[in-house]
Amino acid sequence: MTEKKKVFILGSTGSIGVNTLDVIRLHPEKFEVEGITINKNSDLLEEQIKEFNPKVVVIRNEKVADDVRERIPRNIELLIGEDGLIEATKNADYDILLSALVGFSGLQPTIEGIKRGKRIALANKETLVVAGEIITELSAKFKSEIIPVDSEHSAIFQCLVGEKHKEVKKLLLTASGGPFFKRTREELSNVSVSEALDHPNWNMGNKVTIDSASMMNKGLEMIEAHWLFNLPADKIDVIIHPQSIIHSMVEFIDGSIKAQMSQPDMRLPIQYALSFPDRLQNDFTSTSLTDITELSFFKPDFSKFECIKLAFDVLEEGGTAPCILNAANEVAVERFLNNKISFLEIPDLIKKALNGIDSAQKPSVETIIECDSLTRKYLKD
């Protein structure tokens, strides 16, 4: 019998974390939970502790940690706050780090896993967006495999198995188009928060759902793909595919295009990131091509979805420009969710930050952290 892989989940109560635990639940002979981290959802944490019996728990929110401390079994190591996240990823005994924190906070704990040469199952796209250069250098240096969990990048990763990098002509990154794909720019000016949160195909957290509606998600994914697959922006095309059955494609120099197809279910790319190079049987809904009446494709309208254009711009500028874009987008999405700004003001706020803050080339992790907080301060009104 082969040994079970120990999985440490950064962000176990979020949508990716919950789906990861479901995958582990389906394959108890293959995987076990070494550690989990949460921000605030202590009710779900207590359930997860009972079921999965982790050795390490990190609670980021200190007040929540004080409230539940007494109810956490004494044999579990409890760590608290940002420092706790870093200490846990530095010292816990795991084989795979599933990195699924939301936003910028995933960067440093992920770097700790990379420095230990662990496999990183990467769901936190901001890590590569803000620090792609550092992350790819470190992962090469410490021989840490980064396996994407994001469905599009998992698709590309799967299409590239057995292929040569120099024979890739283009990555075709698919996008559902989100809930506003068919609306005009005028119609976008007064969309409500609940309309933006109503994604047609995927059930995800609030931040990524708003990013899907603004198509910033696809912009961030384009930057993510650039770093993961070492290809320039002009070799990455974004294609709208409303059915979300093809999760992305790769075109090769001979004109062949490979696509990965499946139901939109995050458990599949999560499972693949945990089990690669193996595939594991499961009971997920299979894809009946004869039931799918249509697979369609459209060019995205960059003038309507400005965010995606901004993402191409910052990738070209490089350095800390993607960090400014990412921080400004996080601020803007939060304001939109709190009804403080309108939907079309999201790209406006990002442009304000990009115009007002100088970017630096070849940044260190410290410079990136500074740039992130500077951007947030700059946008405080």
Binding region for Mn ion (CB under 5 A): 150-152
Distance in angstroms (rounded) separating the CA atoms of residues 128 and 323: 10
Cβ closest to Mn ion, residue 150 vs residue 251? 150
Nearer to Mn ion, 15 or 139 (CB): 15
C-beta closer to Mn ion: residue 138 or 233 = 233
User: In this chain, which residue has its C-beta nearest to Mn ion?
Assistant: 150
Q: How far is the CB of 151 from Mn ion (least distance, A)?
A: 5
User: Tokens 């599949």 sit at which residue?
Assistant: 268
| In the complex, minimum distance from the CB of residue 221 to Mn ion, in angstroms, rounded to a whole number | 6
Among residues 60 and 199, whose Cβ is nearest to Mn ion? 199
Nearer to Mn ion, 49 or 266 (CB): 266
| Closest-CA residue to 41 (of 70, 78, 12, 8) | 12
Sign of CA pseudo-dihedral 317, 320, 323, 327: negative
User: Could you give the CA distance from residue 220 to residue 325 in angstroms, rounded to a whole number?
Assistant: 9
Q: Which is nearer to Mn ion, 33 or 204 (CB)?
A: 204
- Chain CA centroid to CA 324, Å: 17
What's phi and psi for 172, nearest 5 deg?
-110, 100
To the nearest whole angstrom, how small is the minimum distance from the Cβ of residue 174 to Mn ion? 9
Q: Which residues make Cβ contacts (< 8 Å) with residue 37, sequence separation at least 6?
A: 9, 10, 11, 12, 57, 58, 59, 60, 84, 85, 88, 101, 109
Q: In the complex, what is the shortest distance from the CB of residue 135 to Mn ion, in angstroms, rounded to a whole number?
A: 18
**Rounded-to-5 percentages of helix, strand, coil across the chain:** 50, 15, 35
As a whole number of angstroms, the distance between CA 312 and CA 326 comes to: 13
CB of 73 to Mn ion, least distance (A): 36
CB of 208 to Mn ion, least distance (A): 8
- Which helix H or strand E contains 47, and what residues bound it? helix 42-52
Closest approach, Cβ 269 to Mn ion, in A, equals: 9
Q: Using the minimum distance from each CB to Mn ion, give the nearer residue, 48 or 329.
A: 329
- CA distances (Å), origin 237, targets 170, 258, 325: 7, 14, 20
